[in-house]
Amino acid sequence: DSGVTQTPKHLITATGQRVTLRCSPRSGDLSVYWYQQSLDQGLQFLIQYYNGEERAKGNILERFSAQQFPDLHSELNLSSLELGDSALYFCASSVDTGGTSGVVDEQFFGPGTRLTVL
Amino acid sequence: GQNIDQPTEMTATEGAIVQINCTYQTSGFNGLFWYQQHAGEAPTFLSYNVLDGLEEKGRFSSFLSRSKGYSYLLLKELQMKDSASYLCAVRAAGNKLTFGGGTRVLVKP
């Protein structure tokens, strides 16, 4: 158990709909990261938040947005869903020392939310 | 940008050794990570290298050569439970990770 929680575990919805995925980081971790993993594909970085502020952006579609709340939990909103959005969505957290060289500061991953768009 | 390459799949026998290579091209380098991921589960951290050389952790070792943009993960005394995907990830600026496509390792009896 990494200490990172994600809800829901599974989500089945229809094209055109909107869903919200939720993540609670490990106690003490200030950074939250969102990743998408499609079938047979690697982890694609979507976005990072640090202490409530957006810190880094990856290949995140305009239909997707995220935020981090004062209690540090984060939500990923996916709208106008398409079949191709079906994937595993992982949240990870870390203390985040700003990438200080030599400091491991590994990311701890939650169990993921499996999204199926029909 | 960043480009990370690793083999798609490898097969090995229980008790043997397997070496998973990872090559990368990156603008800025601040460490290389290896993660293990069982099918449908979360990735779990295995190792971290930021300086050249070998890091050993039990049955797992990881090597880095920054000048060559090259790393490998060595799995010794393979067990059936080691059947999983192994993900190479490079950290550039900040704490953002870019992952390779992963190497699926199948351990056979």
Contact of B41 with chain A, judged by CB distance below 8 Å, is answered with yes
Does B96 have pLDDT greater than 90?
A: no
- Our CA-based measurement puts residue A80 at a distance from the nearest CA of chain B, in whole angstroms, of 25
pLDDT in tens, B40-64: 899 999 999 999 999 999 999 999 9
Mean pLDDT, chain A, as a whole number?
92
Interface list for A 41-70 with B (CB within 8 A): 41-45, 48, 55-56, 58
CB B96: neighbour CB atoms within 10 A?
22
pLDDT computed for residue A100 by the predictor: 62
Token reading at A36: 């998408």
pLDDT computed for residue A39 by the predictor: 79
pLDDT in tens, A76-108: 999 999 999 999 999 999 987 665 656 678 899
- Our CA-based measurement puts residue A72 at a distance from the nearest CA of chain B, in whole angstroms, of 17
Contact of B6 with chain A, judged by CB distance below 8 Å, is answered with no
pLDDT computed for residue B52 by the predictor: 95
Angle at A35 between CA A32 and CA A38, to 5 degrees: 165
Does A42 have pLDDT greater than 70?
A: yes
pLDDT in tens, B9-32: 999 999 999 999 999 998 888 899
Residue B87 DSSP label: E
Q: Nearest-CA neighbor of A3 among A20, A27, A21?
A: A27
Please answer whether residues B86 and B102 qualify as being in contact, where contact means their C-beta atoms are separated by less than 8 angstroms.
yes
Q: Does B87 contact A42 at a Cβ distance shorter than 8 Å? A: yes
* Chain A contact set for B91 (CB, 8 A): 99
pLDDT computed for residue B1 by the predictor: 65
Q: Which residue of A has its CA nearest to B41?
A: A111
Q: Does B94 contact A101 at a Cβ distance shorter than 8 Å? A: no
Residue A10 confidence class, pLDDT cut points 50, 70, 90: very high
Bond before A8 cis per omega within 30 degrees: yes
- Rounded CA separation A95/A25 (Å): 10
- Rounded CA separation B98/B28 (Å): 12
Which one is predicted more confidently, A36 or B28? A36
pLDDT computed for residue A102 by the predictor: 62
Q: Which residue of B has its CA nearest to A102?
A: B50
